Amino acid sequence: MIIHLNGLKESIADDLTVSDLIEWAREGDPDLIVEVNGRYVFPNNYEKYKIQSNDRVEFINPNLGG
Protein backbone atom coordinates (compact mmCIF):
# COMPACT_ATOMS: atom_id res chain seq x y z
CA MET A 1 0.00 0.00 0.00
CA ILE A 2 1.03 3.62 -0.42
CA ILE A 3 1.53 6.03 2.49
CA HIS A 4 3.19 9.42 2.88
CA LEU A 5 6.14 9.19 5.27
CA ASN A 6 7.77 12.51 6.14
CA GLY A 7 6.32 13.99 2.96
CA LEU A 8 7.50 11.21 0.63
CA LYS A 9 5.35 8.53 -0.99
CA GLU A 10 6.38 5.09 0.21
CA SER A 11 5.16 1.64 -0.72
CA ILE A 12 4.89 -0.59 2.36
CA ALA A 13 3.38 -3.96 3.19
CA ASP A 14 -0.24 -4.16 4.33
CA ASP A 15 -1.12 -4.56 8.01
CA LEU A 16 1.90 -2.77 9.47
CA THR A 17 1.66 -1.19 12.90
CA VAL A 18 3.50 1.98 13.87
CA SER A 19 6.12 -0.25 15.54
CA ASP A 20 6.52 -2.23 12.32
CA LEU A 21 6.88 0.98 10.31
CA ILE A 22 9.54 2.31 12.68
CA GLU A 23 11.49 -0.92 12.20
CA TRP A 24 10.91 -0.87 8.41
CA ALA A 25 12.30 2.68 8.25
CA ARG A 26 15.28 1.73 10.45
CA GLU A 27 14.44 4.60 12.77
CA GLY A 28 16.63 4.25 15.85
CA ASP A 29 15.83 7.36 17.89
CA PRO A 30 14.50 6.18 21.29
CA ASP A 31 12.76 9.56 21.75
CA LEU A 32 10.99 9.44 18.37
CA ILE A 33 7.63 11.22 18.13
CA VAL A 34 5.11 9.80 15.66
CA GLU A 35 2.12 11.58 14.14
CA VAL A 36 -0.40 9.90 11.86
CA ASN A 37 -2.69 12.22 9.90
CA GLY A 38 -1.72 15.11 12.16
CA ARG A 39 -2.48 13.27 15.41
CA TYR A 40 0.09 12.26 18.01
CA VAL A 41 0.37 8.50 18.58
CA PHE A 42 1.27 7.58 22.14
CA PRO A 43 4.26 5.22 22.31
CA ASN A 44 2.27 2.64 24.27
CA ASN A 45 -0.06 2.40 21.23
CA TYR A 46 2.67 1.79 18.62
CA GLU A 47 2.11 -2.00 18.71
CA LYS A 48 -1.68 -1.62 18.26
CA TYR A 49 -1.99 1.29 15.82
CA LYS A 50 -2.42 -0.03 12.26
CA ILE A 51 -1.19 2.08 9.36
CA GLN A 52 -3.81 2.53 6.62
CA SER A 53 -3.43 3.25 2.92
CA ASN A 54 -2.84 6.96 2.20
CA ASP A 55 -1.99 7.76 5.84
CA ARG A 56 0.33 10.71 6.35
CA VAL A 57 2.97 9.67 8.86
CA GLU A 58 5.54 12.01 10.35
CA PHE A 59 8.58 10.87 12.31
CA ILE A 60 9.86 13.69 14.47
CA ASN A 61 13.30 13.44 16.04
CA PRO A 62 13.34 15.88 18.98
CA ASN A 63 17.04 15.32 19.72
CA LEU A 64 18.33 16.72 16.44
CA GLY A 65 18.36 20.23 17.84
CA GLY A 66 18.98 23.33 15.87
pLDDT at 46: 97
Residue 42: φ, ψ to 5°: -70, 140
Residue 54: φ, ψ to 5°: 70, 10
Whole-angstrom Cα distance, residue 53 to residue 32? 22
The CATH number of domain 2-64 is 3.30.1330.10: no
pLDDT at 60: 95
Whole-angstrom Cα distance, residue 10 to residue 8? 6
pLDDT at 62: 86
- Residues of the chain with confidence (pLDDT) below 70: 64-66
Contact 4, 11 (CB under 8 A): no
* DSSP type of residue 50: B
pLDDT at 14: 96
